[in-house]
Structure 1
Amino acid sequence: MKPIILQGHERSLTQIVFNAEGDLLFTASKDKIVNVWFTSNGERLGTFNGHNGSVWSVAVDSQSRYLLTGAADNEMKLWDVSTGKCLKSWEFLTAVTRVAWSEDDEMALCITEQRQGQPSIIRTFKVNREDPAASSSTPLSTIVLSGSKATVAIWAPLSDYILTGHENGKVAKYDAKTGEEVLKNEESHKANITDIQLSPDGTYFITSSKDKTARIFDSDSLEEMKAYTTETPLNSACITPLRPYVILGGGQDAMNVTTTSSRAGKFESRFWHKLFEEEVGRVKGHFGPINTLAVHPQGKAYASGAEDGFVRVHWFDESYFRSRPFGDLEPEVEV
């Protein structure tokens, strides 16, 4: 499984995402730049220039038509994917740490940071897809978080609810229209939640945390279903289609990386069996903590972005789809 190495950033990666077809990969970094690449050969298709601070989050719609970005310059921007042109900017009082599209691509979500006396706020906006520049600057809903700040968020299936992960380890579910907290689970994670990603069918989601665990929760009830315990802080986690695996990434905190060898820092992508909660393999290569992971929507590949500034795209070998690490417990797939 030889990786394609993407070298287009001068600083650490913050978030990477595949488009719905899996032929494009969007990468955001602390160097203010967002790049888009062809996943088949690693060729850079283009660059989105316009932010004046670290870009913390990136999200592409299901049609690969529009791109959302959130950055430390207190702005969320909407881009035309084909031209790289910025179509709309929303300005806030603090940094935008997370952005996401609703399932129907009609609404955008963003989290602004708790800082300088400002609370952590989740806002949703209606996006005018025919004339994006005319999209309203007034939020559809505003959720002001009085307790622990939200660090990550995604839309639940059907986009009626918003699923969030918080600094104190809480996962919660908010009504997208009223902003009311419908459910919460404070019993699982014990530290900052660093990533949240839905399963392919949307019925459950995975979170990663600085408490060295990744956990799977039911999207409807927020009940914890599975837990994966490691010996290193985790920055990202994703669920693979087709095969029963989850991929975890992290490593020793960035401030301590210079005093640690890559082996001791545990900078590998780690594959765990989703059902049996056992580690089945690791993929090495990065020279710093893995900050972000994304999996191909058809399960053909995965990508990792790290503190070292590199993105590695791994296309799975045929053996990956045939391997049966737990004997005959997994049924054969008939062609």
Structure 2
Amino acid sequence: MDKKRVAVPLVCHGHSRPVVDLFYSPVTPDGFFLISASKDSTPMLRNGETGDWIGTFEGHKGAVWSCCLDTNALYAATASADFTAKVWDAITGDVKHSFEHKHIVRSCAFSEGANLLLTGGMEKFLRIYDLNRPDAPPREVDKCPGSVRTVAWLHSDQTILSSCTDIGGVRLWDVRSGEIVRTLDTKSSVTSAEVSQDGRYITTCDGTSVKFWDANYFGLVKSYEMPCTVESASLEPKYGNKFVAGGEDMWVRVFDFHTGEEIACNKGHHGPVHCVRFSPGGESYASGSEDGTIRIWQTGPLTQEENETAAAATTASTGKLKAAGTGAEEVSQKMEGFHIADEGKAKEEVTNA
């Protein structure tokens, strides 16, 4: 049995500079969507299943470091080196709100109900914007020990997670008090922090290590050494039996969550891999690279254990996927007014590598 099969990804072109962040929406009535952040200053929205380009968000004047979508994929948020974080209408591409900062904004995240936007960056502040009152001053948490690299919400928006570019560890903040309630210690600075879909685990990358933490009790569950310095890792959301990691050696690797054994090694990128993320159903995962491309890799056949677990749900799941394609076409039609910088360049086709 050849476990390390060769995967042929969908290759998504369009960005002219490195892709530094990726974010999948949950499954919506119109399918699920993928947004990408790039140093070329133009975030892009795609059909999450096929990788087909839907639209480009125009308005930033510097590299975009972070991006996210709300639960219904109706709004997008981006964090940029132009000292702003922006909230966009994901149907029309229009800017809804632009929040000025005093330095580079490195990360952003919508709250669960999408009524709050969390940002962090080089100012060493965490800011919480009330999107129902966008003109009101944000709430600021000013005790960050370094420049903020990543932010995330957990515990139904009662806790904030943040990491810094220049010091190790992940800090967990109580939203009500604004105080650090726990620090997850790491040797190196944390370049990626993801809260699992079920809220059970926090997945972090620091140096050559991928760690999994209990998101409720904050204990270290597992820690695996990787073959190279890794920038990003993502846990498979449906069963949690595998995780994907990417970094300096340009390869995208899949590992067994329970044993740390390498299951697959996908080659194709021509530069370091800056970000990896699983799709919401776990049927594929995306990688973004220094080479300016996004590659969408199929997870492949389920294991016997996964097949047994999924047997009852297979029919419903397949039906959803078919509906997702149709919904994405409808959304594409709705988005005819989407702002496009270079129509010829943007309407690229997604080709097989």
Deviates more, 1:80-89 or 1:173-182: 173-182
CA distance in 2: counterparts of 1:222 and 1:172, whole angstroms = 11
Residue from 115, 123, 126 that aligns with 2:127: 123
Aligned match of 2:201? 204
The offset of 1:268, in angstroms, is: 1.1
TM-aligned CA deviation for residue 232 of structure 1: 1.4
How far has the Cα of 1:237 moved from its partner?
Answer: 0.7
Count of aligned residue pairs for this structure pair: 300
State how far apart, in whole Å, the 2-side matches of 1:199 and 1:41 are. 23
| TM-score calculated relative to the size of structure 1 | 0.85
Residue identity opposite 1:192 in structure 2: S
2:252 paired residue number: 269
Spell out, residue by residue over 1:64-92, the C-alpha distance to the aligned partner (whole angstroms, 9 max, x if none): 11111000000000100000000110001
Partner SS, residue 142 of structure 2: strand
Look up the match of 2:321: none
8 Å Cα contact 2:48/2:279 also seen in 1: no
Which one of the candidate residues 303, 308, 311 is aligned to 1:322?
A: 303
| Other-structure match for 1:39 | 48
> What is the rounded CA distance, in whole Å, between the counterparts of 1:234 and 1:316 in structure 2?
20
Contact 1:172 1:222 in 2 (8 A): no
Asked if the contact 1:125/1:136 (under 8 Å) is kept, the reply is: no
Match of 2:227 in 1: 231
- Look up the match of 1:263: none
Unpaired stretches in structure 2, ≥5 consecutive residues: 1-6, 313-353
Residue type of the partner of 1:203?
R
**Quick one: which amino acid aligns to residue 183 of structure 1?**
R
- Equivalent in the alignment of 1:10: 16
1:220 positional shift: 2.3
Are 2:20 and 2:275, in contact at CA under 8 Å, matched by a contact in 1? yes
Counterpart amino acid of residue 194 in structure 1:
T
Larger deviation, residues 144-153 vs 23-32: 144-153
Alignment of 1:151-190 (within 5 A): 151-166=149-164, 167-186=166-185, 189-190=186-187
Q: Cα 1:137–1:306, aligned 2, differ >3 Å: closer, same or farther?
A: farther
**Distance across 1 between alignment mates of 2:10 and 2:193:** 25
Q: Offset at 1:224? A: 1.0
Report the secondary structure of 2:96's partner residue. strand
Q: Give me the TM-score of the superposition, normalised by structure 2.
A: 0.81
Distance 1:323 1:30, change over 3 A: farther
Amino-acid identity (%): 28
Provide runs of 4+ in structure 1 moved above 3 Å.
none
Partner of 1:222: 218
Please report how far the alpha carbon of residue 331 of structure 1 lies from its aligned counterpart in structure 2 after TM superposition.
Answer: 8.7
Structure-1 residue corresponding to 2:289: 306
Deviations 1:72-118 (A, max 9, x none): 0000001000000001100011011000011121111000214xxxx
Q: Which range moved further: 169-178 or 84-93?
A: 169-178
**Gap runs ≥5 in structure 1:** 115-119, 129-133, 252-265, 325-329
Whole-Å separation in 1 of the counterparts to 2:91 and 2:238: 30
Q: Report the CA distance between 1:323 and its aligned residue.
A: 5.6
RMSD, aligned α-carbons: 1.7
8 Å Cα contact 2:9/2:297 also seen in 1: yes
Instruction: Kindly indicate whether the alpha-carbon contact (under 8 Å) linking 1:103 and 1:157 is maintained by their aligned counterparts in 2.
Output: no
State the Cα distance separating 1:154 from its structure 2 match: 0.5
Determine the C-alpha separation between the residues in 1 that align with 2:210 and 2:307: 26
CA contact (8 A) 2:26 2:280 kept: yes
Greater displacement, 197-206 / 91-100:
197-206
Distance 1:270 1:3 in 2: 13
Partners of 1:26 and 1:37 within 8 A in 2: yes
CA deviations over 1:266-317 (Å, ceiling 9, x no partner): 2111111112222222111101110011111111111000000000012233
For 1:63 and 1:197, the matched residues in 2 are separated by 19
- 1:130-181 superposed Cα distances (whole Å, 9 cap, x missing partner): xxxx523411x31113523332110012100101223322111101132111
On the 8 A contact 2:125/2:144 being kept in 1, the answer is no
- State whether residues 92 and 112 of structure 1, in contact with CA within 8 Å, keep that contact through their aligned partners in structure 2: no
Corresponding residue number in structure 2 for 1:150? 148
Task: Specify which of 213, 236, 241 is matched with residue 240 of structure 1.
Answer: 236
49-58 or 193-202: which moved more? 193-202
